[in-house]
């Protein structure tokens, strides 16, 4: 083996870190809680970005860019939002360093360069954006505003995990403004569908669409919709959220518009985002003890070709053939690499590309040339087979589609098998402690009960699924009457 990896059974958490770091997706940095996204990981993010960006634009959104900093007075304007983020934000207080008179060659913060008003490094941009929208919106003709931003944000988390929870992360945040409540809710729901489409059809990661309980809402939202995914250790991951913000931010920033009848009203708002956290979800949905497993549609590299040869003569013959394949693959839109580097043996390369999750590996040797065939190995099932060189591009294109489908189906089967009903508290706890996954259980609807369940079991209500079946029952904790089951899980 090229690089030693922890197995899931031994230490799931270490296995995850090994995959991220040894798979070349990201690395720790010198800054507490901040990561370096390495080229391979960033290429994955770029593919995800491009797909989402196109989806946003196809649904009428435009990109813009707002300042990194939020003056404290704006930050605190929407009270709940401020309260929600106050405890975890990086604060700029000074704008200059000077040489330290007591410490040669060192710098110190210049006490004379203190800002009159502190600046918060954005943990999210509602405040700065709604303060801007105030100047953009006068009449219903200025609505809707459908804007998205690709940006970095900072939340000073105490316990961080690569991709899953980092102090700085990359994301997109949509911020839309509407003339009516209905339109804003429709936008919120449309984006939720868009996120689910992306998660399932591009990342091959099945998700459940639902709404959060008031306890779990975004700070400042009237309603938070979410997509929830299930990781291989049975823990849930919130993969994306879409918030109906009501008129909260319009009121906090005094953003009114005159409608067709010249009546003034506050503007209705939504915001929504997904982040580099999705990469963590991707890794934990598909990978195995040999490494990553990237869905073809977003894999930076879809196919790697490795030559197996003795001597330059064999190599030259293989090169000629591979060159044809590479051209044909690229023309078909396949992201392919011919790894003929001579500083590692084929076995090392096989392990390396397995670790990196490249969906399809093609090996080609002298005997294959004679037989007009190549050996294809698929990452998802590890099956190997010899296939004809004739029509290889079509074979590979079809295989990539098959792998994409298989990854989704497999993950969906696992997810579906891990939604378990519990009707008593004992059942509930037992499922969480043994099988894990989502537990579908009755809850009496009170925030106190929700809090107590969390304290006792470390499980939270991940969501109330959309179009949830209404069913009379009794709360697993209190025995109080309940009208529906909700989905609990321990979560990232």
CB of 34 to a copy of itself, least distance (A): 4
* Between 82 and 364, CB nearer to a copy of itself: 82
Cα(14)–Cα(4) distance, rounded to whole angstroms? 12
Q: What residue spans of 179-310 are helical by DSSP H? A: 181-201, 248-252, 277-286
Least separation, in Å, of the C-beta of 342 and a copy of itself? 11
CB of 87: closest distance to a copy of itself in angstroms? 5
* Closer by beta carbon to a copy of itself, 149 or else 224: 149
Cα dist. 440→16, 136, 274, 393 in Å? 27, 45, 25, 45
Q: Judged by CB, which is closer to a copy of itself: 136, or 426?
A: 136
Task: For the beta carbon of residue 36, count every other beta carbon within 10 angstroms.
Answer: 13
Q: Which residues of 220-240 are buried (b: 16+ CB within 10 A; e: fewer)?
A: bbbbbbbbbbbbbebbbbbbb
* Residues at the interface with a copy of itself (CB under 8 A): 27, 29-31, 34-39, 42-43, 45-46, 62-72, 74-76, 79, 82, 86-99, 105-107, 109, 118-121, 128, 131-132, 135, 141, 147, 151-152, 154, 156, 168, 170, 343
**Between 45 and 225, whose beta carbon lies closer to a copy of itself?**
45
- Shortest approach of a copy of itself to residue 74 CB, angstroms? 6
The pair of three-digit structure tokens given for residue 306, joined into one six-digit string: 């490795």
Span between the terminal Cα atoms of the chain, in Å: 30
C-beta closer to a copy of itself: residue 153 or 192: 153
CA distance 422 to 432: 10
Kind and range of the H or E element at 86? helix 79-86
Q: Least distance to a copy of itself from the beta carbon of 43, Å?
A: 7
Closer residue to a copy of itself, CB minimum distance, 210 or 273: 273
Shortest Å distance, C-beta 358 to a copy of itself? 16
Determine which helix (DSSP H) or strand (DSSP E) holds 266, and give its type and residue range.
Answer: strand 264-266
Q: Whole-number minimum distance, CB 269 to a copy of itself, in Å?
A: 17
Listed residue (471, 446, 474, 472) closest to 461, CA to CA: 446
Looking at beta carbons only, is 21 or 466 nearer to a copy of itself? Answer: 21
Asked if 27 contacts 39 with a C-beta cutoff of 8 angstroms, the reply is: no
């Amino acid at each position: 083996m090229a690089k030693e990896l922890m197995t899931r059974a031994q230490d799931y958490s270490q296995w995850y870190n090994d995959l991220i770091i040894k798979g070349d997706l990201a690395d720790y940095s010198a800054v507490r809680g901040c990561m370096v996204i390495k080229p391979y990981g960033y290429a994955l993010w770029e593919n995800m970005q491009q797909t989402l960006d196109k989806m946003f634009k196809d649904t009428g959104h435009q990109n813009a860019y707002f300042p990194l900093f939020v003056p404290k007075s704006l930050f605190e304007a929407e009270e709940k939002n401020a309260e929600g983020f106050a405890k975890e934000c990086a604060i700029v207080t000074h704008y200059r360093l000077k040489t330290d008179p007591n410490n040669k060659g060192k710098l110190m913060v210049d006490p004379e360069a203190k800002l009159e008003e502190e600046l918060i490094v954005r943990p999210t941009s509602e405040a700065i954006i709604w303060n801007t929208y105030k100047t953009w919106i006068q009449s219903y003709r200025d609505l809707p505003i459908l804007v998205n931003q690709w940006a970095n944000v900072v939340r000073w988390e105490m316990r961080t995990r690569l991709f899953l929870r980092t102090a700085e992360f990359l994301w997109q945040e949509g911020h839309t403004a509407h003339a009516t409540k209905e339109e804003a809710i429709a936008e919120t729901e449309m984006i939720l569908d868009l996120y689910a489409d992306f998660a399932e059809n591009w990342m091959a990661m099945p998700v459940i669409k639902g709404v959060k309980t008031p306890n779990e809402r975004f700070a400042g939202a009237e309603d938070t919709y979410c997509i929830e995914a299930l990781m291989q250790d049975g823990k849930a991951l919130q993969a994306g959220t879409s918030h109906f913000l009501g008129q909260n931010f319009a009121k906090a920033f005094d953003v009114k518009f005159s409608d067709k009848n010249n009546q003034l009203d506050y503007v209705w708002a939504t915001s929504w985002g997904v982040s580099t956290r999705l990469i963590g979800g991707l890794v934990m949905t598909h990978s195995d003890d040999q490494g990553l497993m990237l869905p073809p549609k977003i894999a930076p590299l879809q196919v790697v070709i490795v030559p197996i040869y003795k001597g330059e003569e064999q190599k030259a013959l293989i090169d000629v053939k591979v060159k044809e394949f590479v051209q044909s693959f690229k023309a078909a839109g396949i992201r392919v690499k011919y790894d003929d580097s001579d500083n590692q043996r084929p076995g090392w390369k096989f392990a390396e590309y397995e670790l990196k999750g490249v969906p399809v590996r093609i090996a080609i040797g002298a005997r294959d040339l004679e037989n007009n065939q190549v050996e294809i190995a698929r990452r998802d099932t590890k099956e190997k087979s010899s296939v004809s060189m004739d029509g290889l591009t079509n074979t590979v294109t079809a295989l990539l589609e098959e792998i994409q489908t298989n990854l989704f189906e497999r993950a969906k089967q696992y997810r579906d098998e891990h939604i378990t009903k519990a009707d008593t508290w004992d059942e509930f706890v037992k499922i969480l402690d043994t099988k894990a996954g989502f537990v579908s259980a009755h809850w009496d609807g009170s925030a106190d009960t929700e809090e107590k369940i969390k304290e006792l079991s470390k499980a939270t209500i991940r969501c109330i699924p959309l179009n949830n079946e209404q069913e009379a029952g009794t709360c697993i904790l209190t025995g109080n009457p309940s009208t529906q089951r909700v989905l609990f899980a321990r979560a990232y």
